[in-house]
Amino acid sequence: MPRSIAITRAISPALADCELTYLERVPIDVEQARAQHRAYEEALMEAGYLVERLDTSPQMPDSVFVEDIAIVFDELAIVTRPGAESRRHETPAVAEALAAYRTLHAIQAPATVDGGDILVADRTVVVGRSSRTNEAAVGQIRQILEPLGYSVYDTVVRGCLHLKSAVTSLGDDLLLVNPHWIDRDAFSRFRTVEVDPSEPAAANALRLHDRVIFSSSYPKTAERIARAGCRLHLVEASELAKAEGAVTCCSLIVAGD
Ligand code: CIR
Q: Which has the closest alpha carbon to 203: 184, 175, 232, 237?
A: 175
User: Judging by DSSP bridges, how do beta strands 191-194 and 206-207 pair with one another?
Assistant: unpaired
What is the tens place of the pLDDT at every residue in 40-53?
Answer: 999 999 999 999 99
Full residue range of the structural domain in which residue 203 is found: 5-254
What is the tens place of the pLDDT at every residue in 98-120?
Answer: 999 999 999 999 999 999 999 99
Given the residues 18, 37, 160, 162, select the one marked as catalytic. Answer: 162
What residue owns the CA closest to ligand 1's atom 2?
Answer: 19
Given the residues 18, 160, 230, 249, select the one marked as catalytic. Answer: 249
**CATH code of the domain containing 89:** 3.75.10.10
Strands (E), the chain: 5-9, 50-54, 70-72, 77-79, 104-106, 118-121, 124-129, 151-156, 167-171, 174-177, 191-194, 206-207, 212-215, 232-235, 252-254
The answer to whether residue 37 is catalytic is no
- The overall pTM is greater than 0.85: yes
The answer to whether residue 162 is catalytic is yes
Query: Does the C-beta of 65 come closer than 6 Å to ligand 1?
Result: yes
Mean pLDDT of the chain: 97
Query: Does the C-beta of 90 come closer than 6 Å to ligand 1?
Result: no
Q: How many domains does the chain have?
A: 1
d(CA 206, CA 251): 9
**pLDDT band for position 172 (50/70/90)?**
confident
Q: How far is CA 7 from the centre of its chain?
A: 12
